[in-house]
Amino acid sequence: MGRLLFIRSIEGRILAGITMFVGMMILVGWVAINEEARMQSFVRQHTGRSVERGAELFASLCSECHGEEGYGQGDRAPGLNNPHLFGYDPVGLQTVAITTANRALVRFNQDLSNLLAEQTDAENPPSEERQNEILAAIAALEEQIAEQQAVIEAAVVERADILATLDTAVENGLFPLWDTVVDIETTGANEVEVFFNANGTRLAQVGWAGDLHGYVVTTLIHGRPGSANVYPNGTGMAAWSQTAGGPLRQDQIEDLANYILNWDKGGAWTAEDFIAVQQYGKPLADGSLPSEPPPPPAGDDVLGILARWQATEIVGSAVSGELLYDAEYGCTDCHRNGASAPDTVGTATRIRNERLTLPQFAGYTIEQYIVESITRPGDYVVDGYSSGLMPSNFGVRMTDQQLADIVAYLLTQE
Ligand code: HEC
Ligand code: HEC
């Protein structure tokens, strides 16, 4: 046998083994690197094609109102190729600086009035030593207050300068209602800051908690009922999805969203971009924008649910779990004192010491058992209780998070 081997000595074979191993690793590494590049280029091409399809749809269906380049048209439709829509706030840095300085000022002024009160307290006059401490502290505070006031003044001037370069944009509706608060004398500086905090970006302005992709897709699906009243030169934003009686399939809506999101310039938007927009988004008609679509239900695929929790880092909260268990889903109605369903008290202990020792639950974790009990109550019926009593549709009524919260709560029931 030995003679048939190509490399005879042990050392030689080890060396050959190492060489082959290193060679393999280089090959694997090379494939991995190229696979990554290949995947990226695939994703790029895929998104690229989707953007192209979106561009065609936009030209034929949307540009008559939103403009060929997406800049919008006066009183007809808002600009979508629009820094404000993409969350770029031209005076955002100034607003943050002023808000932060204002907060510090509130604190310093409070400290200052406490010190002054102590200094002039007739019933309990401070010692001479304390008097000196107080004087020093007041001097330091006054300096800090002056610093913060300087920060605010500088930021207010900067903001005015920036807004002056954006005059045309402001006329076209950037910062709508700005003229109603522009008079700082009568409205007070605080309200001005509240205004800029609430209007700096389109999503803040309409109070949308989700991301821009969700905002665009939701708008396309449902349209904006009542928006024709707000934009009198057009017929308003229709519902485009087939699910809402419109002409577009979901994949076409995604293509359009990809095309629109493709306009994003990140941090590189300029004053020219602001000025190019012909019409900025206006405050919405009441109830025209649905809140974000509800998250999908947990379902009843037990292992799938557990895997998703891990992948998306869902962690249950026992506190909200208890609320859901007691009030929202009425679990307690049955699960009290053990008469019609196992008592809530002792659930975790019972599962650990009794259920999980049964042969059919070999290898189960306690979470798996609870999730299965809630989403597929028919799979195993606890001895002594009737089957079919526990409702079997909780999986479609709860989100992943709610289910995780309830599990967290039951785990506290020792
Ligand atoms: C008849 C004119 C008209 C057409 C055609 C139209 N829109 Fe609109 N669109 C509007 C109006 C008006 C609004 C503002 C709605 C509001 O303020 O609630 C709007 C709002 C939007 C918004 C939300 C912008 C924001 O700032 O809130 C998006 C995104 C949008 N349209 C995309 C599209 C796409 C994509 C198409 C083509 C499939 C399209 N629209 C076709 C009139 C139109
Ligand atoms: C209409 C009555 C009823 C309601 C409401 C109900 N259950 Fe149950 N549940 C039962 C019964 C009966 C059993 C025992 C029979 C079985 O295993 O299906 C049970 C079993 C369980 C078990 C297994 C307990 C064990 O010791 O093995 C869990 C966990 C559970 N339920 C959780 C819940 C949760 C969470 C809710 C609310 C979201 C809920 N149940 C609502 C009747 C109910």
Nearest protein CA to atom 40 of ligand 2, as residue: 331
C-alpha distance from residue 290 to each of 223, 224, 229, 399 (Å): 10, 9, 18, 19
With a cut of 80, say whether residue 174 has pLDDT above it: yes
Separation between Cα atoms, residue 43 and residue 104, nearest integer Å: 47
- For the Cβ of 406 lying below 6 angstroms from any atom of ligand 2, the answer is yes
Separation between Cα atoms, residue 223 and residue 321, nearest integer Å: 36
With a cut of 50, say whether residue 3 has pLDDT above it: no
- 175: closest CA among 197, 153, 152, 207? 197
pLDDT at 43: 66
Separation between Cα atoms, residue 90 and residue 265, nearest integer Å: 13
pLDDT at 288: 87
Distance of CA 388 to the CA centre of its chain: 39
Averaged pLDDT, 93-102: 91
pLDDT tens per residue, range 260-297: 999 999 999 999 999 999 999 999 988 888 776 657 78
pLDDT at 144: 96
Q: What is the mean pLDDT of the chain?
A: 88
With a cut of 70, say whether residue 15 has pLDDT above it: no
Q: How many angstroms does the Cα of residue 353 sit away from the middle of ligand 2?
A: 18
pLDDT tens per residue, range 220-253: 999 999 999 999 999 999 999 887 889 998 889 9
Nearest protein CA to atom 8 of ligand 2, as residue: 390
pLDDT at 189: 66
Ligand 1, pocket residues at CB < 6 Å: 58, 61-62, 64-66, 77-78, 80, 85, 202, 216, 219-220, 224, 227, 230-231, 234-237, 240, 256, 281-282, 284, 288
Averaged pLDDT, 349-359: 96
Tokens representing residue 233 in the block: 């030169």
With a cut of 90, say whether residue 382 has pLDDT above it: yes
Q: How many angstroms does the Cα of residue 366 sit away from the middle of ligand 1?
A: 50
pLDDT at 196: 85
- 329: closest CA among 351, 303, 298? 298
Q: How many angstroms does the Cα of residue 364 sit away from the middle of ligand 2?
A: 18
pLDDT tens per residue, range 33-71: 666 676 667 667 778 899 999 999 999 999 999 999 999
Separation between Cα atoms, residue 270 and residue 83, nearest integer Å: 8
* Portion of the chain with pLDDT greater than 70, in percent: 86
With a cut of 90, say whether residue 123 has pLDDT above it: yes
Tokens representing residue 167 in the block: 């005059």
